[in-house]
Structure 1
Amino acid sequence: MTTSTTALTPLTLTGDGLLLRPLSLTDEPAIAEALRDPEILRWAGGRTVAEAPEAERARFWLGARLMAWSTGSAVFAITDATRGADGVMLGFLAAREVNRLPDQAVMTYWITPAARGRGLASNALETAAHWALSPTSKGGLGLHRLSLDHALANPGSCRVAEKAGFALEGTMRDFYVDPSGLRHDSHLHARLARPH
């Protein structure tokens, strides 16, 4: 059984040296630069974005996410906490489809090439997971299960998931289709509010 998603109130989260803030139009130049990275384009851009002319990719990608809070997905720019809310976007993180399945959401993330190797992705994922799995009485989303998947050909994403406490649950055969049409097996990871 599925439930309908409801609007979420945009908010800002802080982690160890990072700030997760809602996306804004001012992020378009940083997104355009990020989408020039073949790995981000391949694993996180989506087919529509990848097939768009390079000059239009950031607008397409950002446009689809600016209204996400109103449709039940929490989307964040990952920034350096020392720069405040106006900091340049170093990556992206989302808790998508909140409550499409009861008490669940799907996590996704990427980090710009210049910001990789600093632990930002796992820190951001841990920060967002803690918020999403916290009770609503403590300002969280009150979810029970967060899942994420990544192509086996993207081992960096596996390391991020495991470092943030997302246990490997299995392999989904031919699950991910990259923009070229090539199918990849994917790992499924999940984190629960209460470990079993």
Structure 2
Amino acid sequence: MGLKPTRIEVDELVLRPLVAGDEAAVATAMADPDILRWTAGSAVLRVPADRRAVKWLESRIDGWSRNNAVFAVADAATDVLLGSVTLRDVNRVPDQAVVAYWVSPAARGRRLAARALDAAARWAFTSPGDGGLGLHRLSLDHALVNEGSCRVAIRAGFLLEGTMRDYYVEADGRRHDSHLHARLAPDPRPAERL
């Protein structure tokens, strides 16, 4: 069945579906060691560096048709991609989805990830009659050593639920304990100004 591609405006940002024209910005992001380490995925890492953006985009541009809400986080004035927020496996477990995010190095330090994640969560919790997904729970995980991701999750209202031992496996086989965070529809919005 798939999801209806959606556009969300928040402050100076817009969350919108990815397009082929995002390739140059994704290529820049895929050159960042942290994005490669934590969010690119093994399929992207297996291809030559000059093909990583195409590989990353190819499964995400049509992600909406496979029940994955894959958003580009873009500058509202220029439409330049600054990052990404994804809600994947929407309703694989009833009324739930799993969240992932990244922000390009040049756009870091402006709390874009937390604001985009909060906006995507609010949309996901909105009833379908009002244009949302009507979900109840969103979860995410990150390696404990990825402290920036933990700060983003907490700022966006995702409470720490526990530690999953040796859950995250890097491309080179190193294992890391991971935090599990979640946000529920009835949870209050984050108190901190995003």
TM-score of Structure 1 vs Structure 2, range by shorter chain? over 0.9
Q: How many residues align?
A: 188
Q: Which has the higher helix share?
A: 1
Is this contact kept in 2: 1:146–1:192, CA < 8 A? yes
Q: In the TM superposition, what are the counterparts of 1:20-31 in structure 2 within 5 Å? A: 20-31=15-26
Where 1:66 maps in the other structure, the secondary structure is coil
> Could you list the per-position Cα deviations for residues 37-84 of structure 1 after superposition, in whole angstroms to 9, with x for gaps in the alignment?
00000000111211211011111111111111001000011011222x
C-alpha displacement of 1:166:
0.3
Name the CA distance, whole Å, in 2 between partners of 1:59 and 1:180: 22
Q: Which of 31, 35, 45 does residue 30 from structure 2 map onto?
A: 35
Name the CA distance, whole Å, in 2 between partners of 1:112 and 1:195: 29
* Structure 2, gaps ≥5 residues long: 189-194
Name the CA distance, whole Å, in 1 between partners of 2:172 and 2:122: 35
C-alpha displacement of 1:195:
3.1
Corresponding position: 1:120 with 2:115? no
Corresponding position: 1:71 with 2:66? yes
1:3 is matched with none
Higher relative contact order (CA 8 A, sep 6+): 1
1:167 is matched with 159
* Structure 1, gaps ≥5 residues long: 1-5
Q: One-letter code of the match for 2:140? A: L
C-alpha displacement of 1:179:
1.4
Corresponding position: 1:13 with 2:8? yes
Q: In the TM superposition, what are the counterparts of 1:22-101 in structure 2 within 5 Å? A: 22-83=17-78, 87-101=79-93
Where 2:77 maps in the other structure, the secondary structure is helix
Name the CA distance, whole Å, in 2 between partners of 1:195 and 1:13: 21
**TM-score normalised by the chain length of structure 1:** 0.93
Q: Which of 124, 127, 130 does residue 122 from structure 2 map onto?
A: 130
Is this contact kept in 2: 1:46–1:178, CA < 8 A? no
C-alpha displacement of 1:110:
0.1
Name the CA distance, whole Å, in 1 between partners of 2:7 and 2:173: 36
Name the CA distance, whole Å, in 2 between partners of 1:180 and 1:43: 12
Q: What percentage of aligned pairs have identical amino acids?
A: 57
C-alpha displacement of 1:33:
0.8
Report runs of 4+ in structure 1 exceeding 3 Å deviation: none
1:191 is matched with 183
Q: One-letter code of the match for 1:140? A: G
1:139 is matched with 131
Q: One-letter code of the match for 1:158? A: C
